[in-house]
Every structure is written in C-alpha cells, then in structure tokens.
Structure 1
Amino acid sequence: MRSTDDLTARARIRDAALELFGADGAAGVGVRAVATAAGVSPALVLHHFGSKEGLRRACDGYVVEAIRGAGSGVLSDTSGLAAMLEAATPVRRYLARALLDGSADAAALFDEIVTLTGKWLADGAREGWAHPAADPHARAAVYVSWLLAPLVLESHLARALDVDDLHGIDATMRYSGAAVEMFTRGVFADDRALTAWEAVRKERETR
C-alpha cells in the first residue's frame, strides 16, 4: 500500500506534467523537466509512472475522468461538455494539446461526446426545441468541434477579441453569447448559401 506522501508525490508529478505537456506538448518535455517542476527526482517520476509515455497516459486518464466525472465511466449527459469548458486552465490546455497530438484517450472522448451530442440533438428535434438535420451525425460532430475550438484556438480567439485571458468570465460570456445567438437565430437571412451548396452537391453527383 502506498503512503499518503507517495500518493501526494504522484499527484504533484502528474500536475506538473499537465502544465508542461499542455504548454509544450509531451514530445517537447523530458522526464527531468517534469521532475524539476514537481520538486522531485527523475527516478521518482519513473518509479511512479515507469516512463514518460506512462506519465502521459496517466495525464490522459486524469483529464478524461475529470471531464466524464469521477467513477462514471462515460458521459451521462451534456454537463460533461460544460465541465470540459469550465475545467481548470491546465486541464483545458492539456486536452487541447492532446487533441492536436493524437492522444488515444482524447480521441475516444471526442467520439463519445459526438455520439452523446447526436442523441441530445435528436431528442431536441423530437421535442421541438431543435431543428431536425439532414445529416444528424455530421451536425453533432461540427457542433462539438465548435465547442472545443476555443481550447485549440485559444491564443487566436483571445487576440481577435482583444482580451488577455480568454477563460475570464467577461470573455467567456462574450464569445458564448455570440455563439448562442448564432445557433438560436442563425446567421443568414435567406437560403442563398444553402441553395449554392445544393447546386455544388448536385453538380458533383452528375460527374
């Protein structure tokens, strides 16, 4: 059985890795850098995690469980999406990097969220608070991609909105308000864009 100090050291190492991997990517950070940030020896990092890859997998698992909810195993409702966007900054930045770097756990979580969101939107279509979709799965995937975009495009969105901290409440309310308005009221006042898209689709089908 591990001592309390042992468990605390493990968590400290993991948290240091979350910060560093999220900022620079796992490929750009060595075990020694994580050990220094955690205030432990490289040997202790390897003792707890076996290798840098083992540490990265532990970080993946921690972030996934933080978003899903401890012990739940899967996302049970759309609160998981809110949890993802409201999580501590190191968790969000790690997830963004994991999605870009191709983490298997992050990929599985993305797929799970798309499936869940598809069911949620289908319920909405049946209940009348969401429009039906010609391609429900594609719509769910695009919707989730939009929700995750601030994680991946944080610096660009912050620059465009002229804010120092994209995760501050004022910035969050601003960009989420614009998004809710888009989803609720739409952007285009007529169907010319959709008509143009349909014309392109039909032309490609006849080739």
Structure 2
Amino acid sequence: MSAPEGPTARTRIRDAALDLFGRDGVNRVTVRAIAARADVSPGLVVHHFGSKEALRRECDAYVVALVRGTGDAGRHDDVADRVMAGDGAGLSAVLDAATPVRRYLARAFLDGTPEAARLFDELVEVTTAWLADGEREGWVRATSDPRARGAIYVSWLLAPLAFSDHLERVLGVADLHETDATIEHARVALEMFTHGVFADERALAAWDTAAKERENP
C-alpha cells in the first residue's frame, strides 16, 4: 500500500490529514487512518512529520499560508480576489479545493484548543489588513474601528462552519461545506455584506444613543 517517497507523498499526507481532521477531529484520527487515506505506510507519515501533533501543526500552517496567499497554498488563495474582481470563472473549482479547509477550520474552532486560538488571531490579522486595503482602494466602506471590523468579519464567516449542523437542518442541505451549498447560501451572506440588512439608520442611531448614555450616566 505504500507509495514512493518523494515531494508528492508529503503533500498527500497533509491533504489526507486536513480532510480527516476536519471530518472527525484531531483526537479521533489515527496515524494509520491518515496513512490509509494518503495511500502510504504509517512509517512514511512518521518519517515526514514525526508525530500526529506535528502533522496538525503542518495543517495549521497550510491554512494560514492559504489565507495569506503564500507558499504552495497560494495557488488556492484567489477566492477573495476572484469574488471582489467580479470574476466567477474558475471560482467553482477553487471552492472545491477549499472544501477540506472549511471543514478543518470548523472543527478546529469547535475544539477550542490554544492552537485554534492562535489560528483565529492569525485570520483576524490577515483579514483586518485585507479589509484595510479594500478601504483604501474604495471597495470596502470606512469604519470607526478597523480591528473590530476584521474580527467580526472573520466571526461572521466562521459562524456557518461552527453551526453547520443546525444550518443544514434549517436550510435542508446534507453538507453545508460542499461547494454547491456554499455557492447557494454564501450568496446571501455576500448580499448582506454588499447591501446591508437594514434599510435605514434607526438601529444605528439607537445604538449610538445608548453608547452616549453610558458615557454620561
């Protein structure tokens, strides 16, 4: 069952781990299961990564590189660029490639480990900078708190992943992480981000009034 050792073996192992960790959680996945999914021997997994924990760190690093658009993950990191450029060509294939990453993120944040906290902080940092670039370029509206905007934006994006079981039930889909479901239901989120939800500023004005009352009791 083993495959020849080489540059593709390490990638296959990482991709297998990313998928299995996302589906079942790190604690429930064995090195033997990862090896079987990657079609290599368990010894080759240990040879390349040393341990399951080191392999999990490699998956974290890959996800961060994908978000940053660096390293070998950069080839999958044009989802946001395509969307913001209005370019739908090839977007489906890019989303297909990102499906294991969406599952991995959902599982990581549900597990609530220190590693997940660091991963979340990294996503907020990258997203805050990305939105700030968009504000300077004119395709993102200005905000009074760029850091909070970045953090809340990331939280909004991750919420469907964390609540996927409930959303799948309510929306009547078998797997919210699959590309067809993502394309259908993520459009609603993009619509909300683009046009907003409220048609006037009553809620915003009420919030500002409450804040002023707290400042001047």
1:49 shift after superposition: 0.9
1:122 equivalent to 2:135? Answer yes
2:48 equivalent in structure 1: 48
Stretch of structure 1 that moved more, 111-120 or 162-171: 162-171
1:142 equivalent in structure 2: 152
2:34 equivalent in structure 1: 34
1:79 equivalent to 2:89? Answer no
2:61 is paired with a residue of what secondary structure? Answer: helix
Alignment gaps of 5+ in structure 2: 85-90
Query: Normalising by structure 2, what TM-score?
Result: 0.71
2:125 equivalent in structure 1: 112
2:4 is paired with a residue of what secondary structure? Answer: helix
Specify whether residues 91 and 41 from structure 1 end up closer, same or farther in structure 2 by C-alpha distance, changes over 3 A only. same
Residues in 2 aligned to 1:90 and 1:167: alpha-carbon distance in whole angstroms: 8
1:130 shift after superposition: 4.2
1:143-200 deviation digits (Å, cap 9, x = unpaired): 2322333333333333222122435565334323322332333222333322332233
Q: Percent identity?
A: 52
Amino acid across the alignment from 2:60: D
Amino acid across the alignment from 2:29: V
1:57 equivalent in structure 2: 57
Q: 2:196 aligns with which of 157, 181, 186?
A: 186
2:181 equivalent in structure 1: 171
1:90-115 deviation digits (Å, cap 9, x = unpaired): 22211322344443663353033222
Alignment gaps of 5+ in structure 1: none
CA contact (8 A) 2:128 2:150 kept: yes
2:5 equivalent in structure 1: 6
CA contact (8 A) 1:18 1:94 kept: yes
CA contact (8 A) 1:78 1:117 kept: no
Specify whether residues 44 and 176 from structure 1 end up closer, same or farther in structure 2 by C-alpha distance, changes over 3 A only. closer
2:88 equivalent in structure 1: none
1:96 equivalent to 2:106? Answer yes
2:54 is paired with a residue of what secondary structure? Answer: helix
Residues in 2 aligned to 1:180 and 1:99: alpha-carbon distance in whole angstroms: 22
Q: Over the residues paired in the alignment, what is the CA RMSD in angstroms?
A: 3.5
Residues in 2 aligned to 1:41 and 1:53: alpha-carbon distance in whole angstroms: 18
Specify whether residues 29 and 195 from structure 1 end up closer, same or farther in structure 2 by C-alpha distance, changes over 3 A only. same
1:6 is paired with a residue of what secondary structure? Answer: coil
Query: Normalising by structure 1, what TM-score?
Result: 0.74
1:23 shift after superposition: 1.3
CA contact (8 A) 1:118 1:137 kept: no
Residues in 1 aligned to 2:51 and 2:194: alpha-carbon distance in whole angstroms: 48
2:18 equivalent in structure 1: 18
The aligned length equals 200
